[in-house]
Structure 1
């Protein structure tokens, strides 16, 4: 979108005189203090929602209670609701009634929890269980998605009370399965919602989302272009020949091969890629082999994750890693099967939209609390798939407890991870102002 030196009114007049069609003018902005007051008024409700959701977590594509919770509250706000979008996703649609441009903006929150045994000691800690890979496991909101849902519901309530003050449409996306899907499922939550038309009817022009992470409470940080890494799952199956542990030369030792494969992957990444230009992480995280101390097994199964910020570099590394692993296996007389599956694409924040958003987020968080040039992070997010469809910006919200060093705070996915509830109202303001200011923009 171009930047104009003329005011919107002067530009429209100039275009009319020249015979060109005049663009729709931006509507009168809703004051930030009105948003802040409305958000503060519902803060206790947002905290209560977060605690309820925290106590009743659900795994990906099993968010049935959570989806019903969301749908019920959206309907109570007078918002149009679509359920079952992307299996268990919920879409809310709010249309402003003021005169002005008919723009469409989306806000997104993820709903799923993790197979983690919570150890926060909170009075509303989860005791829930679920089924993961065929086993019954503890389930907890160890990544903050309970807070995400509560904040977006809060923004929906604030905006529904202001619909006579803005024109255009706001789409609220409550997404399942951000953390991944059960084995055998082809698509994660964002792609499932996209396939079900979540960004269509009305057609979304831009999308915004946030994530709570360790950080000074009340701060917001992100970056233009590549912000969060593309994430791939890597699986390697090594096949050898079983033998007695005392006679390794009479078989093909896949344990030795596995050790060399791990060393090769680590060396290939550390010695062929400049980490100062394109951060890259290639981790082998699991190794399953053998059943007895004195038997060398005939198979070893390894899995890991690859995090990258450059598509061409990623493709080249994958090609070289597969060739190198084949060569290692062949040297021992073993064979290797290498497979890779993308879990999330690169979170790529639209440059123009990122620059435009910084002062909007400053309205929400206050001067000095927004960093729009933070370093990239190697964690991943499937919000990236929405950004592949429409321009978008994803940002992080610092949510560490007061007085705790974010560098030593329990990270996301930890049993001790918790969210400072004082930041929830900031998330409501940030969501609300992002939507309002986008709708107020002249085309």
Structure 2
């Protein structure tokens, strides 16, 4: 679903393609010098945020820390959006377009195992959407790199605020809570930020976002179209009739029925999806729960898992096929099946193709290796909601510390995930140059 164009958008893209002048080259050198000067403070800030993580819709201390830093830089600050969201507005001294940058506030319910001196030791009662940990005391960790995203966004604010009188436009920094999903029974995330007006007053012309990931530090990967997958969490209940394990014919055993359902679901991507049109969906069962004793056939099997799809149409098709498959297999054995989908799911995300192509030369100047172009990831991110409203560019940046290059690397959402501090400068440089390139193009 390509985002809607803004007025004069095509003209901006044409101006972006113009070759850099000597003045522009000098301006980039000045920007790099300011980034180098700001980097130690940015790293220190990331360590502070990392050491004090908070779960979705509970990012009170994190939001206060962000708002305090933005005010110190002289930005207009709005707080309390979608619970704990923060917006910083930097109005330049020259007229020009509004550019938004999104960063996320929340951490994950994971116990950190990095051994870093600033590692998180926070533990809380989890009230979130993780079915395995909900209602239990859990560790909390920035295992998805949101601490790095916040630090880089604040780094952009610092280096651009230092020359705000020369800034040809307005920078809008969006610090969003609950990207990983709000607690069960609550609303939150990008959709609520948008509902509460984060894309108005002022209205951004474009929005940018970076997500750090495991990979060579300072390298970029992005897509010209689809960026992230839709993600749906499902629960299934396969119900039979409980009986003695020695006499299974006197009951209805839901365990083999559940096994058949799980295997049949895998034929949806391999045999029922037109792979010449779209990449295959991914159906993963992450949890199976049944029974209390080895010699009693249980009355019920519960399945929980995740579905990843690459378009709205594919998503609806897969959800219907999963439900129908489970019901028919269960009925064939005299059992029953119910498949439910939990709220707070993610829609597939898309980059604006023309904007990507126009900004690619800017990124090539920043990346430590040639920018890799791919067809998107099966990971999910609600940045997709912003990019469905206005043209957006969402890119992934490798951030594995070089010291870990020859060792097994922990990916995001794992207790050993680490971010290379010096690579934050690369992310700040990319976001700053993209912002300035778009503003300068719009101001011509």
Q: TM-score, normalised by structure 2?
A: 0.90
Distance in 2 (CA, whole Å) between partners of 1:209 and 1:5 is 18
The match for 2:111 is: 117
Secondary structure of the residue aligned to 2:86 is: strand
Cα distance, 1:104 vs structure 2? 1.0
Give the corresponding residue for 1:370: 371
Q: Does 1:224 align with 2:224?
A: yes
Per the alignment, residue 141 of structure 1 pairs with 142
Q: Which residue of 2 aligns with 1:294?
A: 295
Offset from partner CA, 1:195-224 (integer Å, 9 cap, x none): 111111111111000010011111111011
1:63 to 54, 59, 64: 59
Does the 8 A contact of 1:188 with 1:343 survive in 2?
no
Maintained 8 Å contact 1:400/1:406: no
Q: Aligned to 1:31, what secondary structure does the other structure show? A: helix
Alignment correspondent of 2:131: none
Match of 1:195?
Answer: 195
- The separation in 2 between residues aligned to 1:54 and 1:166, in whole angstroms, is 31
- TM-aligned CA distance change 1:142 to 1:388, over 3 Å: same
State the alpha-carbon separation in 1 of the partners of residues 75 and 270 from structure 2. 51
Name whichever of 426-435 and 118-127 sits farther off. Answer: 426-435
Of residues 351, 354, 359, the one that matches 1:349 is 351
Partner SS, residue 396 of structure 1 = strand
In structure 2, the residue corresponding to 1:302 is in which secondary structure? strand
The CA distance in 2 between the partners of 1:415 and 1:275, in whole Å, is: 35
Tell me how far 1:155 sits from its aligned partner.
0.7
* Equivalence for 1:384: 384
The Cα of 1:404 is off from its aligned counterpart by 4.0
| Deviations, residues 216-253 of structure 1 (Å, cap 9, x unaligned) | 11111101111211111122122222212222212221
For 2:13 and 2:316, locate their aligned partners in 1 and report how far apart those are by CA, in whole Å.
43
Aligned counterparts, 1:417-428, within 5 A: 417-428=417-428
- Mind listing any 5+ residue stretches in structure 1 that lack a counterpart? 9-27
Between stretches 318-327 and 401-410, larger displacement belongs to: 401-410
Match of 1:22 in 2: none
Q: Which of residues 46, 50, 53 in structure 2 aligns to 1:54?
A: 50
Aligned residue runs from structure 1 range 41-120, under 5 A:
41-98=37-94, 100-101=95-96, 103-120=97-114
Could you tell me which residue of structure 2 aligns to residue 310 of structure 1?
311
Q: CA deviation at 1:319?
A: 1.8
C-alpha distance after superposition, 1:69-127 (max 9, x if no partner): 000000000001111111111111110012x33x1110011111111111111011110
Alignment match, 1:176: 177
CA deviation vs aligned residue, 1:267-318 (integer Å, no higher than 9, x gap): 2222223557413211111112212222222222211111111332332222
Q: How far apart, CA to CA, are the structure 1 residues paired with 2:196 and 2:14? A: 41
Residues 353 and 391, structure 1, Cα contact 8 Å, conserved in 2: yes
The residue aligned with 2:10 is 2
Matched residues in 2 for 1:283 and 1:363: separation?
A: 39
For residues 129-168 of structure 1, the C-alpha deviation after alignment (integer angstroms, 9 at most, x for no partner) is 1221222111111111111111111111111111111132
Deviations 1:1-21 (A, max 9, x none): 43699989xxxxxxxxxxxxx
Whether 2:369 is the aligned partner of 1:361: answer: no
Which piece of structure 1 moves more, 336-345 or 129-138? 336-345
- How far 1:408 moved relative to its partner? 4.0
Shift in alpha-carbon separation, 1:433–1:407, aligned structure 2, 3 A: farther
The alignment's C-alpha RMSD in Å is 2.1
**1:237 touches 1:336 (CA, 8 Å); kept in 2?**
yes
Count how many residue pairs are aligned between Structure 1 and Structure 2: 419
